[in-house]
Amino acid sequence: MKTNGIIVAAGLSSRMKAFKPLLKLKEKTIIEYSIDSMLNAGVNQIVVVLGFNSEEVENLLRNKYDCSQLTFIYNEKYAETDMLASVKLGVLALDNCDAFYLLPGDMPAIKTKTFLMVKDSISRTGAMVAFPTINGQRKHPPLISWKCIDFIINFHGDGGLRELWNQLEDQIVTVHVEDFGCTIDADTKEDYNRLVHYMDEKN
């Protein structure tokens, strides 16, 4: 199964009071860890959706990576749109693939095993979407079949991504994972401190 990925890093980071993708965790930034987690899982192409501070992020990544696997897309309306708008832009930029992962840019601690377990789940079941779960709750990153692309692009209902998943409910499967990285992001300073502690303990 050929998989691609979308990393959404277009937001203002308003709750954090600092720009999340460029915050440091040990020797790398959050966005670098997020990209590395996908590359380590065998993803062919990663679409990075940028908005606020887009030039700074793109310059960093172009200096750090072989950009043949990275595609940069810009949500020029990042200040007035939700995550679904950025996801749609990312989907439109995907190369041909069987399925794609979706990951917020402030979730850098996902295990490679989690990506592969979700991939195995969708391969075995033929489902349209597969989510990792912890304690019965769905977490990122979902793996989404290419068959959902037209539906996502043409979805205009209220409720953003949550409502989109509701519309696909009967075509979603889940797989239980043991991955604390699925539960932590950098939405607030407290979240970031918890993430720093987790990464220090992990390594």
Q: Could you tell me the pLDDT band of residue 184, with boundaries at 50, 70 and 90? A: very high
Residue 88 pLDDT exceeds 80: yes
Residue 14 pLDDT exceeds 90: no
**Alpha-carbon gap, residue 40 to 14, rounded angstroms:** 30
Closest CA to 54 of 80, 75, 85: 75
In order of their start, the domains of the chain are: 3-202 (3.90.550.10)
CB 58 within 8 A of CB 135: no
Name the percent of the chain lying above pLDDT 70.
Answer: 100
Closest CA to 35 of 119, 91, 115: 115
Residue 203 pLDDT exceeds 80: no
For the segment 15-29, what is each residue's pLDDT rounded down to a tens digit? 787 899 999 998 899
For the segment 36-76, what is each residue's pLDDT rounded down to a tens digit? 999 999 999 999 999 999 999 999 999 999 899 999 999 99
Closest CA to 194 of 108, 132, 112, 135: 108
Name the percent of the chain lying above pLDDT 90.
Answer: 90
What global pTM score does this model have? 0.96
> Which pLDDT score is estimated for 100?
99
**Alpha-carbon gap, residue 68 to 48, rounded angstroms:** 13
Kindly give the residue spans of alpha helices, DSSP state H, lying in 52-147: 54-64, 83-92, 112-125
